[in-house]
Structure 1
Amino acid sequence: MDLANRGAALALYRGGSTQVSIAEQLQIPRSTIQSFLSKHHKDPISDETLADRPRAGRPRATTEKQDRLLHRTILKDASMQTDDLAQHISGGGSMMVSDRTIRRRAAEWGLYHRVQRKTPALTRSHVQKRLDFANAHIDWSFDDWSRVLFSDESSVQCGSNHGQQWIWRRIDEAWADGKTQPTIKVATTMKFWCSMSAAGPGSLHIIEESLTSDSYFKILQQHLIADGTRLCGSDFLFQQDNHPSHKTERIQRFLEEKGIQELQWPPNSPDFSPIENMFSVLKRLVAERCPPSKDDLIRITLEEWENLGSDYTHALVSSLPDRMQAAMTAGGGATKY
């Protein structure tokens, strides 16, 4: 019963109404009225004390000393698992606390057991170069970033059997059609080069062999100027990472001869590049369609790449000012992007 009904029930009872009458008027079960009024007889309730009195509750499974030890241990070693923490604070005793108790105690201090995020391994030099880049581009607007043609290489794979897949099914449907996960013994991997800008996806070029300075030179000859002019205008900036094949004398000479200005990219900075986010989405979309052959893999990858569209790339490039600010805040360290 809420406080209003408790007050009404007590007033009606004091006015001479029966429990049955009170239950009918308030549309509350008689057993509830009876329990409430029974407490009134044992310990008279005043209008000011209708609320529940504090209850002792279940005793804590850990002592204050154990709580302090647990807090210090988690702060010292964030990778320690809950079962190890339980053994540690129990001191080898027979009374072990549960994983759930460990998690509840940690939550009281704002600490939660979560999957550890992966970030690039950054040296001091990497951090400084990332910070310098962010500082140099912190005032760039969306229009400034729209002049950049982003590029990179990645790969996709036939099949979607990359780890466990969860599915809703009945007990007797374990082996039913549509409820199993098809597997491929030898997965075919396709490597590709692609570009993008705020205006939309650029070319997606299949890389048949390993990426070398020669093969990369041919890719740029075929796609770079066409993609950059179409997506960014004739005075576009070209972004590429620091892969050895990108930095050869031949490639640098080609860019200089064509009058293409390169945006000097800091090392180990995939979180700065919006095309990395496109790769992640592309791989998921291709895996969902589970291409069974290399031809299907190429066809589906090309379809999904084109379907990403300009709305998505516009949103990604719009995030670049925030990425630069996040890098500044992190002092050149890794960001959530």
Structure 2
Amino acid sequence: MFQSGLRWAVARVFGVHHSTVGRLAERYHTTGSSSDRPRSGRPHVTTAAQDHPSRLLHLRDRFRPATRTAAETTGTHHRLLSARTIRNRLRADGIRPYRPYVGSVLTPQHCRAQIQWCSAHRRWTLQRWSRVVALWTNVFGVFGNLVSFYREWLCTIEGRSNSSVSFTHEQTWVRNTQIQFLLLIKISQLEPGKQSFHLDSE
């Protein structure tokens, strides 16, 4: 259609202006392709040497906000970068930000499982809890280069109607790396038929 001079008809078929069709045809005859010609465009405000540290920062801390990196980075124009620039660089490298989850961590199924666990363990004696701690010691023993192991635990039982169990602070060094285990379990019966359970672990 275009070879016969029907530029308007071609433009009407594709829904564009006839001058657009003319420029594409001229570009094709000149360069052999209808793609855009190479152009310099707007220069980047950061160099590759500046982008590399920013990329490492976000790879090491995936929750690091782009606004924080932008406030600490100066571009080639001797001004602080914008957060949008940092996001564009990270997106070009395939790095997506992680955002902390905001909401309820425990589902109703988790709550039911915790109450069931409390019901099964609320009347455990000190002797039974000591076997659990001993089991943990055996588990830690499977690590190599176990330099030191420290254990401190406390278990108190306050009567039948209101009992609580609190333990432990466990600390070990494995391959010169300090790993801390903190487990605090509190089991208490507030009212008949109602129990509360709290678990903190690091």
**How high is the TM-score relative to the length of structure 2?**
0.43
Per residue, is there more strand in 1 or in 2?
Answer: 2
Task: State the structure with bigger RCO (CA 8 A, min sep 6), 1 or 2.
Answer: 1
**How high is the TM-score relative to the length of structure 1?**
0.28
Per residue, is there more helix in 1 or in 2?
Answer: 1
